[in-house]
A and B are shown apart, each in its own frame.
Chain A
Amino acid sequence: MTDPGAPVNPDEILQASAPDNGSPFSSDVQPAFARSSSRQPSTDRSSSSRSWFTLSSTREERFFLLLAVFIGLFSGLAVVCFRLAIDWTRIWLLGPVLEPHTWRLIATPTVVGLIVALLVIHVFPLVRGSGVNQTKAALYIYNGYIPFRTAVGKFITAAMAIGSGQSLGPEDPSLQIGASLASALGRRLELSRERLRLLAPVGAAAGLAAAFNAPISAVLFVIEEVIGRWSAGILGSVVLSAVSSVVVVRWFLGSEPLFRIPAVGLMRPTELLAYAFLGVVGGLAAVIFARAIGYFRPRLRAWPRWTQYFQPAAAGLIIGLIGYLGAPQVMGAGYDYMDQAMHDQFTWKVLATLALLKIVATTLSFVSGAPGGMFAPTLFVGAMLGGAVGGLERALYPGLTGSTATYALVGMGVLFAAFLRVPMTSVFMVLEVSGNYSIIVPVIVANTLAYVISRGLQPTPIFDLLTRQDGLNLPSLEEQREQTVLRVEDAMRPPPALVLDAQDSVEQAVRRAQDLSGTFLVRMSPSGWGSVTADELKRLGGEGKGQMTLGSTLLTRNLPYLHPDITLEAALRHVYHVPLVPVVHRADFRRLEGVISRDDVLEKYKMTEED
């Protein structure tokens, strides 16, 4: 019997479980709960006779939903403790007030950076890196397996790093803690591999929702960045876990958002120009931010191993110096300062400086290998940049009446969309955090511009970039989203010159096709399609069936047909066994739009590949 907690060799799992098309949510796998292990022979250890799961598929689904609630509860509790741990560490290490020119600001992140490095290298090696990518890896590669030790390690090291002033956020670790708890619970309950795999995003959504205190954004993020597609089988569980974790967090920490939002709104439509400018600036800032991380991270990791003991400390030293010299705001997650920025408590020059320094500080912290996430720093940079742009625009054009808070809030969404490359989540995050739908237009305008600029200048999203640097090959969900879908209309040929009619006599058909060869389509009456080859026609004529109607003598009737908008992927199933498939109009099945064959499909794929 295998110990559920024992480490798993990823290579073995990869070989044993690689899904048909690389996605755990393909159409074959998607109704995994519904089919359950009893319907399909499986090599899964827990679907064998010793599995406790002897329930019907419906009851299994219900149980899984119930389990999602418990995952949400436990993740919520863990995140509450995590946040307290960060706060406690910060007060204890840095003091209750971050004041410049205090020696603690330099000493603390340096010394703690050294300790964190030791822990990461020797005790918790898996906590290094992005929690989002590790959860994706668990989902796509390790069958939902995330060691419980990762949760513990992430909790301790991230609390120390963020609490000591490293410029990182608690959301990413929270997401991983949630996923890790869910995975551990699933293994303890000896769930099947399919279910275990689904638990990781469920836990991730719970962790993120608890960290953000925003369930909708968390669900969307997990769908957009981790799972990659809307799947009914998982959506219910993800939503339930996110909601239950948020309930727990609100129970203990209150329902207030992470920062207080003053009155925000779009005063006049001309202000959209100002928000468009913010989108451009935010998009460029996101590119700089992503490129800096993408450039320095592999280089620092390539340095001799002994330097890795000192990298977080060196990052801490520089960040501490920034704080010591007058910008302690860049230390830690920085939610308090986002709150202050929203309340007009910095001039636009200070805001711009803070945005720049935060990019530097976060890049240093992240590339040094200090555990922590980039969500909060992204929001911080966005808020500061938004506030700065708003302040500058107001100074130049006093007629612009938008508040700094509105610009800061839109700026958060802008960076979220452009840096993390989650456009949907970015919009909903701003709306959910602000609770105000009046700014949806500026948010959409700015986010779209920022996203397009970022995508144009930095084609690989940050999470994919990190994945590739780590040597993993996880599906890029943005690439999937943006991939051009090939359809039948892209590969079909025009209708053939000769289309026979079922009412024609065989003799007439032979006469019409006498100079032609190959397969002819036959329009059946009253509907449907058939086919006949030139050889078959000749044979029928030879058998003395010349006066009979073609319809009564056909061997191939009820030919499958396609429509122009059907994807080539779906069309492949039909063209495989049939030499020529009619492509017909959706409103009139007798109207032939074209024909398609297996060769046409393959040729199209080949051409696309070459392009």
Chain B
Amino acid sequence: MNVASLKAFTRRPPVIVAGLVVIAVLAFLAVNRLVTRFREQEKALARHLYERGVQAQDTGQPERAVSDFRAALSYARDNFDYQLSLARALRDTGRTAESETYLISLWERTPQEGAVNLALGRLFAREQIFDRAIQYYHNAIYGFWSTDPDARRRDAQFELIGYLVQHKAYPQAQAELITMASSLPHDPELRLRVAGLFAQVRDYEHALSQYDDVLQTEHDNQAALYGAAQAAFQLGRYRTAQGYLQSAVHADPKNADTSQLLKTVTLVLQIDPFAPRISDAERNQRLRSAFQTAGDRLDDCAMTKGLDLSPASPAVGLPALKAQWLGLAPKMKRLRPPLDSASLDPVMDLVFEIEQETREVCGPPSGRDQALLLISQDRAGVER
């Protein structure tokens, strides 16, 4: 093959196309190598900037963190962690609008992502947009978490409950707690936390139940004993509360709160004229004692406030109560056991009314007056 025929051969279209294909493949490989190398360098650079940003955030330099996260993102634009960190850093620097836009764009791409939803929930919570905050918190609770999903979901739910409690949305918080409690593992710490939250939303029944669960495995758990006692106390189950409190004091005699509550509970149980299984004489004595305590409280309160309780005073408020008390006093002297409810109830009604009125006028009482007030709050709740 001479030069001329070779030249003619190379000018044939198929040969040209083949030549172009070879060149293209070689160029492709070369560029691929170049791009791969560049990408690796970019990745390393992004990682370095991200770590610097995290460090800045940890050391309380959110502005610096924002700058580093942004720079990191310019080299790894799709990195989820970097984006989320930037959004969080923006939120921390108070740039909620920027943070929101960022998070919303992340959310649009991965609406199921728990971390994004949680960040959005926190953002809206911070902005006091209640409904949207709850919506994203819920998304986070039921969203996708790549690592330790149960714990992350639970944390999100705890955060939501905390937010609801903070906003006094007790029924919603209670609903969340009931859902959570149903799937809670047997971890005393978690149970205690849930029980505490139940108590915060004033669902003492569930709180007591959670404390009981803890106490089944850890009989001497101080927090559980005290919490259970508090819950029982709030439910008016003073006998139950006394049991928990006695155990608690036994385990930790130096705990002043426990001791104080025990004293109160014991006093309630000691002076309650409605208590079951007490003798008529005892009931009679308790009734007299309650009547006298109320009368003393009335006088003390009037004296403190400089009020005149004489019959000449207007027949309203404390003077009226004093008049009623004086009216019942002769009857009390004639009172003989056995007592029926017709003779017991009018006296105790007056006692409770005096305790409540004096609380309004002179502030919360202590000692026996406090115990009478507790008995008045829920007569039926008192375990007899």
Contact = CB atoms under 8 A, between A and B. Distances in A.
A77 B104 CA distance: 35
Contacts of A405: 101
B70 A263 contact: no
Contact of B31 (A63, A81, A260): A81
A343 interface: yes
Interface stretch (A91-99, A138-146, A226-234): A91-99
B32 A344 contact: no
Interface stretch (A66-74, A489-497, A571-579): A66-74
A368 interface: no
Contacts of B108: 262-263
Contacts of A339: 77
B133 interface: no
Contact of A344 (B11, B12, B35, B97): B97
Contact of A84 (B16, B35, B49): B35
B6 to A, nearest CB: 13
Contacts of A13: none
Interface string B1-33: 000000010011100110010011001100110
B38 interface: yes
A345 B98 contact: yes
B78 interface: yes
A256 interface: yes
B13 A262 contact: no
Contacts of B71: 96-97
A88 B105 contact: no
A475 to B, nearest CB: 33
- What class of interface size applies to chain B in its complex with A? 35 or more
Contact of A97 (B17, B67, B77, B105): B67
B15 to A, nearest CB: 10
Contact of B12 (A52, A263, A336): A52
B45 interface: yes
Contacts of A55: 13
Interface in A45-88: 52, 55, 59, 63, 66, 70, 73-74, 77, 80-81, 84, 87-88
B45 A96 contact: yes
A99 B74 CA distance: 14
Contacts, number: 79
Contacts of A96: 45, 49, 71, 75
Tell which of A189, A254, A343 has the most Cβ of chain B within 10 Å: A343
Nearest to A91: B45
B38 A70 contact: no
A252 interface: yes
B272 interface: no
Interface string B29-47: 0011011001000100100
A403 interface: yes
Interface in B88-142: 90, 95, 97-98, 100-102, 104-105, 108
Interface string A373-407: 00000000000000000000000000000011100
Given A77-B27, A87-B38, A91-B45, A63 B13 contact: yes
A336 B42 CA distance: 15
A253 interface: yes
Contacts of B104: 262-263
B32 A252 contact: yes
Given A52-B11, A96-B75, A80 B68 contact: no
A344 B101 contact: yes
Contacts of A344: 97-98, 100-102
Nearest to A405: B101
Interface in B64-90: 67-68, 70-71, 74-75, 77-78, 90
B101 A343 contact: yes
A74 B24 contact: yes
Contacts of A403: 101
A339 B105 CA distance: 12
A340 interface: yes
A190 B95 CA distance: 61
Nearest to A96: B45
Contacts of A97: 49, 67-68, 71
B53 to A, nearest CB: 10
Contacts of B16: 52, 189
Interface in A275-323: none
B24 A70 contact: yes
A73 B101 contact: no
Contacts of A340: 70
A404 B77 CA distance: 20
B31 A77 contact: yes
Interface string A399-432: 0000111000000000000000000000000000
B77 A260 contact: yes
B207 to A, nearest CB: 44
B78 A252 contact: no
A260 B49 contact: no
Contacts of B97: 344
B17 A66 contact: yes
Given A74-B24, A77-B27, A260 B38 contact: no
Contact of B24 (A73, A84, A252, A336): A73
Contacts of B77: 256, 260, 339
Nearest to B68: A97
A249 B70 CA distance: 24
Contacts of A248: 28
Given A73-B24, A80-B31, A97-B68, A343 B105 contact: yes
Contacts of B75: 96
The 7 A-B pairs with the shortest beta carbon distances in the complex, nearest first, are A52-B11, A344-B101, A97-B71, A262-B105, A345-B98, A252-B35, A343-B101
Given A70-B24, A97-B49, 17 more contacts: A66-B17, A70-B20, A77-B27, A77-B31, A96-B49, A97-B67, A97-B68, A248-B28, A252-B31, A253-B35, A262-B108, A343-B98, A343-B101, A344-B98, A344-B102, A345-B98, A345-B102
11 contacts: A74-B24, A81-B31, A88-B38, A96-B75, A97-B71, A253-B35, A336-B74, A344-B97, A344-B98, A345-B95, A345-B101
